């Protein structure tokens, strides 16, 4: 099973969500390949604040931002976006196996912390962590 988390720039929210979900899924025995991508991103490192916020809970964030493309999106069994606008953009741009396989994160938007301090990234981490059970159930239904 492949799970894709998507946000705008793929430097903050979606890589944080992917890293948190990877750990959560592993702890529950779910065999999943977890990835992240951005709708409108440039090649960039993940945010240092995103990295720091995850290190606080023992998760190492590695990699670089990457653009969501046809192969990544259409190859995913489940896609989770950070807000409804991102979901709509993916649905308009790509042919997905099943439109129901794309969901906004736990049904609510997660604010973009880009340009803010570590406290904003901690808040995003907390929101993402709180949504993990719902995301997990959604992903299991797609598999």
- Least confident window among 5-14, 46-55, 85-94, 116-125: 85-94
Architecture of domain 2-142: 3-Layer(aba) Sandwich (3.40)
Q: Tell me, what's the pLDDT at 32?
A: 96
Sheet holding 78-81, edge to edge: 33-38, 2-7, 78-81, 102-104
pLDDT in tens, 96-135: 656 667 888 756 678 999 999 999 999 999 999 999 999 9
Higher pLDDT residue, 105 or 91?
A: 91
End-to-end CA distance of the chain: 6
Contacts of 23 (CB under 8 A, 6+ apart): 59
16 contacts 61 by C-beta, under 8 angstroms:
yes
Domain borders along the chain are 2-142
pLDDT at 6: 95
pLDDT digits (tens, 9 = 90+) for 23-80: 999 999 999 999 999 999 888 999 999 999 999 999 999 899 999 999 999 889 999 9
**pLDDT at 43 (0 to 100):** 85
For 108, the token pair is: 């609510």
Average pLDDT score over residue span 81-105:
81
- Cα separation, 132 vs 124, in Å, equals 12
Those residues with Cβ within 8 angstroms of residue 99's Cβ, 6 or more apart along the chain or in another chain: 91
pLDDT of residue 69: 93
Distance between CA atoms of residues 3 and 77, nearest Å = 6
pLDDT score recorded for residue 143: 78
């Amino acid at each position: 099973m492949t799970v894709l988390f998507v946000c705008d720039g793929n430097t903050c929210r979606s890589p944080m969500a992917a890293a948190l979900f990877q750990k959560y899924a592993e702890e529950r025995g779910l065999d999943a390949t977890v990835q992240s991508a951005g709708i409108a991103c440039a090649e960039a490192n993940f945010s240092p604040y995103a990295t720091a916020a995850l290190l606080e809970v023992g998760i190492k964030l590695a990699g670089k931002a990457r653009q969501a493309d046809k192969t990544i999106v259409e190859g995913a069994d489940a896609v989770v976006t950070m807000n409804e606008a991102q979901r709509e953009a993916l649905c308009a741009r790509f042919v997905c196996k099943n439109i129901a396989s794309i969901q906004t994160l736990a049904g609510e938007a997660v604010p973009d912390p880009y340009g803010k301090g570590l406290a904003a990234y901690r808040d995003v981490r907390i929101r993402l962590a709180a949504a993990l059970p719902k995301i997990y159930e959604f992903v299991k239904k797609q598999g």
